[in-house]
Structure 1
Amino acid sequence: MWNLWDVFASEFFGTAVLLLLGAGVVATNLLPKSKGRGGGWLMINFGWGLAVFAGVYAAWKTGGHLNPAVTIAKVVAYWFDPAVTLNGAAVGSETAVAVNFENVIVYIVAQFLGAFVGAVLAYLAFKKQFDQDCDPALKLGVFATAPEVRSYGWNLVTEAMGTAVLIVFVMVAGGTPSSVGPLAVALIIVGIGASLGGPTGYAINPARDLGPRVAHAVLPIKGKGGSDWSYSWVPVVGPIIGAVVAVVVVYLLGLGSIDITAALPL
């Protein structure tokens, strides 16, 4: 059975990979003196999708949550069905990670720390680009999301909706004969970004936004400006609401697989 260090290391490493590659594609698209500057929104969507693909495989021991909203969704699923485990392994098996307070806290702490470290690594990779003069909002955009039209209530709805689509897709697709794998999850991330990501930049992951936002605040980034803390709660609260609603809807409607990570062939 995986111990707490195994759980921490898996989610930490996977989330760090996610943010290194995800923040990296945004930096490539936005920062001056980048060979990929101006690659466009779809470039960012596909980059984040592939970042999730890599991160899920990196965190295979724990089911590749990489996202506190996914972990919270597993907790809600457990309330409906005690057979649910955090990593999708059968209850009582040697590799199962039980749904309990200690394990859930380790998952979430590891995700936030991994996101912070991944963002720092992305900064180091693009250090000379960050040193160039440009709009501070572009530099913050590498680390954290921001709405195109600031309306906290509607921004919250957008983030909740995008996260709910992700959770419902994985749960329902996991119950189909073909099941799903990390590549399918990566593609739904691309789809959510292309369709629902425009209003807020689609964090759909509290760790993905807050961990890098803290990194932006503490790193010595030339001309970085503020970290937009007034908005920071939206990409934390919105995804959590969306995850809880998604699980409840799937159970109430009797749709698909009830285990979010059991469908992933890891």
Structure 2
Amino acid sequence: MSPFIAEFIGTMLLILLGDGVVANVLLKDTKGNNSGWLVITTAWGLAVFVGVVVAGPYSGAHLNPAVTLTLALTGKFAWAMVPAYVLAQLLGAAAGAVLVWLMYFDHFRRTKNPDHVLAVFCTGPAVRNYISNTTSEVIGSFVLLFTIMYISGAEVTPTKVPIGLGSVGALPVALLVWVIGLSLGGTTGYAINPARDLGPRLIHSLLPLKGKGTSDWGYAWIPVVGPLAGGALAAGLYLLLQ
């Protein structure tokens, strides 16, 4: 499997399972309807586990443009490979969102609340304040990326597999994403991943969902800029402390 395909499939599985749990909790007449935040955060952590297990041996399992940027900024990943990884992540996220739509097709049709439909695909703030919303995404992403740098260790040894979440280990990353969701996710829904939000939001705007409402493009820059800024800060502090 090529690194591009691995990033595509790994991110697709991440979104299929991650957005899938949101659909199960929020959409009408599902078995998991109204099962709550703990279910969502737990499944998102396990979704990361699945994506990392599949993609790790082939691409390093970045699954997130903020991870790719942070590793490039710290010299652990080649800049020349960044565009291909980010493109694969965005396409994989979009594909995963389409699969969620197909999986929950009947339940989307029964759900009349457009906010619940949108929430399946992308994040949104509990309280809309662009400054504090951006700050929340920066802080959550900083915790993710800064911790990952220390789990993976300061030294990079030659390997045929590019460094990424796969070199950290699937279980530690899953637990890290889980605790970020439980502790820091209540403000914006913790995108902490530009591809996770942007790809599915685009699919939401394109799908023929009856009464779906707006895709909230006015907010869409925050789950992109916030994680990238958080990753850049994590990279800067990591390099400063070496």
| TM-score relative to the length of structure 2 | 0.92
Give the SS at the match of 1:59.
helix
Is 1:47–2:43 an aligned residue pair?
yes
Aligned partners of 2:93 and 2:199 also within 8 Å? yes
Aligned to 1:95: none
Aligned partners of 1:68 and 1:207 also within 8 Å? yes
Pick one of 196, 207, 212 that aligns with 1:208. 196
Q: CA deviation at 1:180?
A: 4.5
Q: Which amino acid aligns with 2:45?
A: G
Q: CA deviation at 1:133?
A: 3.5
Aligned to 1:29: 25
Give the SS at the match of 1:32.
coil
Determine the C-alpha separation between the residues in 2 that align with 1:175 and 1:72. Answer: 17
Aligned partners of 1:69 and 1:205 also within 8 Å? yes
Pick one of 135, 146, 154 that aligns with 1:168. 146
Is 1:62–2:55 an aligned residue pair?
no
How many residues in Structure 1 have an aligned counterpart in Structure 2? 229
Q: CA deviation at 1:55?
A: 0.5
Q: CA deviation at 1:146?
A: 0.3
Aligned to 2:159: none
Determine the C-alpha separation between the residues in 2 that align with 1:212 and 1:165. Answer: 24
Deviations 1:150-193 (A, max 9, x none): 111110110011011011111112339xx952111001101000
Q: What is the correspondence of 1:1-266 to structure 2 with a 5 Å cutoff?
A: 6-60=2-56, 61-78=58-75, 84=76, 86=77, 99-101=78-80, 103-175=81-153, 180-254=168-242
The structure with the larger Rg is 1
Determine the C-alpha separation between the residues in 1 that align with 2:9 and 2:151. Answer: 26
Determine the C-alpha separation between the residues in 2 that align with 1:199 and 1:31. Answer: 21
Q: Which amino acid aligns with 1:199?
A: T
Determine the C-alpha separation between the residues in 1 that align with 2:111 and 2:184. Answer: 31
Aligned partners of 2:111 and 2:117 also within 8 Å? no
Determine the C-alpha separation between the residues in 2 that align with 1:174 and 1:208. Answer: 23
Give the SS at the match of 1:131.
helix
Q: Which runs of 5 or more structure 1 residues have no equivalent in the other structure? A: 79-83, 87-98, 255-266
Name the structure where helix makes up a greater proportion of residues. Answer: 2
Q: Which runs of 5 or more structure 2 residues have no equivalent in the other structure? A: 155-166
Moved over 4 A (4+): none
Q: Identity of counterpart residues, as a percentage?
A: 50
Determine the C-alpha separation between the residues in 2 that align with 1:72 and 1:133. Answer: 37
Deviations 1:4-62 (A, max 9, x none): x8121010010000000000000001000100011110100011000000001111211
| TM-score relative to the length of structure 1 | 0.84
Aligned partners of 2:27 and 2:111 also within 8 Å? no
